[in-house]
Amino acid sequence: MVMEAVDEAKKSTLRRQHIPMEYVPGLPMLSVRGGELCMILPWLRYRATGKVDGTLVFPVRYITVCTLPERMLVEFRDLAYDPHFAGLDFGRACGTFRHEAVKDLDRKAYMSLRENALTLMGRLASAQISDSTWGDTDEKALRESLSRLIEPSLSGIYRHLEPDFYNKYLSVEKYLTDDGQNKE
């Protein structure tokens, strides 16, 4: 459900008309808004530098929000116009990929971890919609996958966009030093 919604968003008219081509979907988050389950999809960009583990990561600039399972768009926002992000330079890199938590993964393993996380998130969405089974093992697997995948340099943006989901699944403090930098 979530993976399909992300794929549909990448091909949508809204994406083609309002989100520049160099932007790609980040990790989605789930949220209940107006009594409906929604998926928040952040859009950010990367820039290759030619250096291993040196791809530049730029701040999340756009978000789309759709209902699940219908995938009806309920919000589009350019964070450059959000007062909370007024001082953020969206043209300046905020980090590099691959961060410490995924440095040991090659492309295939990274994509497999991401796909697994989106599949688990889809199962969580299904469980929230239909009260189907979602156990502690699922919860732990999703938390471990997402907290490993999130770019530490983007954690503040994710925390602001959906604090409850962030605190439950995306907290990356175990990968950061006391001053907020990536552990080496």
Instruction: Give residue limits of the domains in the chain.
Output: 2-175
Give the residue among 181, 127, 116, 180 at the shortest CA–CA distance from 149. Answer: 116
Do residues 79 and 56 touch, judged by C-beta distance below 8 A? no
Given a contact cutoff of 8 angstroms between Cβ atoms, the answer to whether 157 and 41 are in contact is no
pTM: 0.89
User: DSSP class of residue 133?
Assistant: -
Q: Tokens representing 41? A: 């999809």
Confidence of residue 132 (pLDDT cuts 50, 70, 90): confident
How far is the C-alpha of 47 from the C-alpha of 135, rounded, in Å?
A: 38
- What's the token pair of residue 167? 């605190």
Q: Are the CB atoms for 121 and 30 separated by under 8 Å? A: yes
Task: Tally Cβ neighbours within 10 Å of residue 65.
Answer: 20
Q: What percent of the chain is modeled with pLDDT above 70?
A: 93
Res 172: pLDDT: 56
pLDDT digits (tens, 9 = 90+) for 58-90: 999 999 999 999 999 999 999 999 999 999 999
How do residues 163-181 score in pLDDT, each as one tens digit? 999 999 987 554 444 444 4
φ, ψ (nearest 5 deg) of residue 105: -100, 135
* Long-range contact pairs involving 76-83 (C-beta distance under 8 Å, separation at least 24): 76/14, 76/18, 79/157
CB of 121 within 8 A of CB of 153?
A: no
Average pLDDT of the residues in 114-134: 91
